[in-house]
Amino acid sequence: MECSCSKCEAQNEWYREQIQDIEMRAKQEEDRLKARVLEIDAIAKQEKDQMEARIHELDALANQEKYQLPARMRVIDALANEEKHKVQARIHANSAKFSQELINWDAAWRLHSICPLGIIPQKMLKRKHGDDIEHAGHAMVLTSHLSEQPFGCSQVQVSLEEQQLQQQFQQPVIQELSQYKKLMVEEVRRLSRCGQEWQASLSHKYQEQEVAQVDQQLQQELPQEQQLQQENDNEEEEYDDDDDDDNNDDDDDDDIDNIDDDYEEQNQRLLQLLMSQISLPPIMPLFDDYPYYSYPMTDYSFLFSSLTMGGI
């Protein structure tokens, strides 16, 4: 049952206005949401188009790179091959140049060399200890072009050249050997005398006797040393005279071997002389607690080893 009073009509009118207002706002909100949806769709479509364009661009770049990479690889391979051929050409040119220089040098050496001897590798056996100065597997031998007489070559020039070289290298060695022998003899005499005096001074009973024996022994051996030194000087003078007068090189190796043998004999005599100089008395009393005292023999082996080294 509807009420017809003014109050109810006014209230109904208010409700209708509220409903219309709500419907209007709902419609506005719906329109706003539709516009937002359309805007979002447009933005998404734009993003999609941009992404598709970017994908197409990347595909195009990938295809372009795919087609350009083999071309670049072919260009790089061509450059590498060209550089390789250039290097090989330079190597062949340098090898040919070096071979030609070797040929020219060998021809010039054969033309102007005064000695028909050459050093070439050849197996050999060691003759003795003194040949250690030669390189293993190498020796001075006659070359195949010995029969080719170079320009200006003569036996006299070869002999003079060999004599000069021999005198140049052997004379200082002989002088140094003589000085070394003198110094070694003096040093061993001094050591022997010091050892004898020290041993003799251990006992007052044998002091004067031992010193007198040492002096007597040294006085007896002094003429022998002087004679040995005189023989060495005479041999050096004879060797110098032979080097100045001899112009033939056929017996040079035999002369050197004879000189080495003479020096070996001299060294043997020198060693015997040194052994006799450093001989010591055997046993002598020293203290009451120790009835016998054996003087320790000084080790002079390093002196003998040094005398026998270096071809002495």
Please report, rounded to a whole number, the percentage of residues in the chain having pLDDT higher than 90: 13
For residue 63, pLDDT over 80 is answered with yes
Please report, rounded to a whole number, the percentage of residues in the chain having pLDDT higher than 70: 48
Which residue type occupies 185? Answer: V
**pLDDT score recorded for residue 184:** 79
- Per-residue model confidence as pLDDT tens digits over 226-261: 677 777 777 767 666 655 555 455 555 555 566 666
Distance set, CA 300 to CA 266, 281, 296, 304 (Å): 19, 16, 12, 7
For residue 15, pLDDT over 70 is answered with yes
For residue 152, pLDDT over 60 is answered with no
- Per-residue model confidence as pLDDT tens digits over 94-119: 888 888 888 888 777 777 655 555 44
In contact, 221 and 303? CB cutoff 8 Å: no
Distance set, CA 52 to CA 43, 64, 256 (Å): 14, 18, 102
Higher pLDDT pick, 32 / 9:
32
For residue 171, pLDDT over 80 is answered with no
Angstrom distance (rounded) from CA 154 to CA 114: 7
Report which listed range, 6-15, 64-73, 240-249, 252-261, is most confident: 64-73
- Per-residue model confidence as pLDDT tens digits over 275-304: 565 444 443 444 344 333 444 444 444 444
Query: Could you write out the three-class secondary structure of the chain?
Result: CCCCCHHHHHHHHHHHHHHHHHHHHHHHHHHHHHHHHHHHHHHHHHHHHHHHHHHHHHHHHHHHHHHHHHHHHHHHHHHHHHHHHHHHHHHHHHHHHHHHHHHHHHHHHHHHCCCCEEEEECCCCCCCHHHHHCCCCEEEEECHHHHCCCCCCCHHHHHHHHHHHHHHHHHHHHHHHHHHHHHHHHHHHHHHHHHHHHHHCCCCCCHHHHHHHHHHHHHHHHHHHHHHHHHHHHHHHHHHHHHHHCCCCCCHHHHHHHHHHHHHHHHHHHHHHHHHHCCCCCEECCCCCCCCEECCCCCCHHHHHHHCCCCC
Residue 40 binned pLDDT confidence (cut-offs 50, 70, 90):
very high
Return the number of other C-beta atoms located less than 10 Å from residue 137's C-beta: 9
pTM recorded for the entire structure: 0.24
Higher pLDDT pick, 257 / 163:
163
Higher pLDDT pick, 196 / 294:
196
What is the domain partition of the chain in residue ranges? Answer: 14-98, 181-235+252-307
Copy the structure tokens of residue 161. Answer: 């050249």
Residue 68 binned pLDDT confidence (cut-offs 50, 70, 90):
confident
For residue 146, pLDDT over 60 is answered with no
Angstrom distance (rounded) from CA 193 to CA 215: 9
The phi, psi pair for 108, rounded to 5°, reads -65, -40
Higher pLDDT pick, 212 / 42:
42
